[in-house]
Each structure stands twice: as C-alpha cells, then as structure tokens.
C-alpha cells in the first residue's frame, strides 16, 4: 500500500495532500517537530520528532519505501527518498526525479552560498493558486503511477 509522508513543519499544501490521500485512502504520516494540526482520520498519523535540523528528514528517510511519496521542500530529503525508491514532490508541484535531483542539489548549494555572501535574501516566494493546482495535479499523477507500479 502506498503511503504519503509530509515534511510538515513548513508545508503549505497539507490540506491539498489530505484531499488526495482521502480520495485514494492513503495513510499519511505528518512528520513535525512543531505544532501542526491534523484531521481526525485514522489514516492520518501525526509523528512528533525531536527538534533538530534533520530529525523529521531522518524519520522519513528511514521509513519511506518504494512507491511511497514524500512532500517536501527539502531537496536533500527528496534525494534520500529517491535513493530509497520513493517519490518526492515539492509544494509548488515540482517533481523530483533521479534525472533532475543532481541539478536541484547543485542549485540549492549555489543559492545557499549566495545567501551566505549576502547576495540573496528572503526565503521562497509565497505559493500562488497555480502552484497549489500544479501540486494537486502532480500528486495525483504520482499516486496513479505508484499504484500502477505496485
């Protein structure tokens, strides 16, 4: 059975993910070190991890299985999920694949370096409605692909 993992602390598309998971009767692991509310649903499991830079990432990476899907903006976590045979999706609908994860990691490293030099400021831009729609479409496609591959 396909399971959905949400790197939930900074996940702006939890509600959208719950909708897709409900439609497909998926178990959802909402992994957080903070205060995240989840729907009252036996398939939605709130996982509280210790505060720390990689605690949620480590929890997810140790448990994700082939065909499972992780929603994260953390590119190194996406790479770990892909390595374990899972699928990874960013909140804006960007699908991470073995073909594009190297480029995504390199781009992340360059951006981090530029921020350290003071050349870049701020975080990611707020999600627009088209990003949320793209996320829903891509998550639906990943669920369908995972179902076919099992």
List the pLDDT tens digit at each of the 150 positions of the chain. Answer: 999 999 998 899 999 999 999 999 999 999 999 889 999 999 999 999 999 889 999 999 999 999 999 999 899 999 999 999 999 999 999 999 999 887 877 776 666 766 667 766 666 678 899 999 999 999 999 999 999 987
d(CA 73, CA 8): 10
Question: CA-based angle 113:54:128, to the nearest 5?
Answer: 65
The top-level CATH class assigned to 3-98+126-149 is: alpha beta
The token pair at 43 is: 């398939």
Reported pTM: 0.88
**Sheet containing 3-7: which strands, arranged edge to edge?**
44-48, 27-32, 3-7, 69-71, 87-89, 95-96
Question: CA-based angle 78:129:7, to the nearest 5?
Answer: 25
């Amino acid at each position: 059975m396909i399971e959905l993992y949400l790197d939930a602390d900074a996940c702006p598309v939890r509600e959208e993910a719950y909708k897709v998971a409900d439609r497909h009767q998926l178990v959802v692991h909402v992994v957080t070190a903070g205060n995240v509310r989840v729907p009252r649903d036996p398939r939605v499991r709130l996982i509280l991890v210790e505060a720390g830079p990689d605690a949620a990432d480590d929890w997810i990476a140790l448990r994700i299985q082939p065909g499972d899907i992780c929603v994260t903006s953390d590119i190194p976590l996406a790479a770990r999920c892909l390595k374990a045979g899972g699928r990874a999706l960013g909140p804006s609908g960007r699908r991470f694949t073995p073909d594009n994860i190297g480029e995504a990691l390199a781009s992340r490293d360059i951006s981090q370096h530029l921020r350290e030099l003071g050349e870049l400021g701020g975080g990611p831009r707020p999600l627009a409605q088209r990003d949320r729609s793209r996320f829903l479409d891509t998550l639906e496609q990943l669920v369908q692909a995972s179902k076919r591959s099992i």
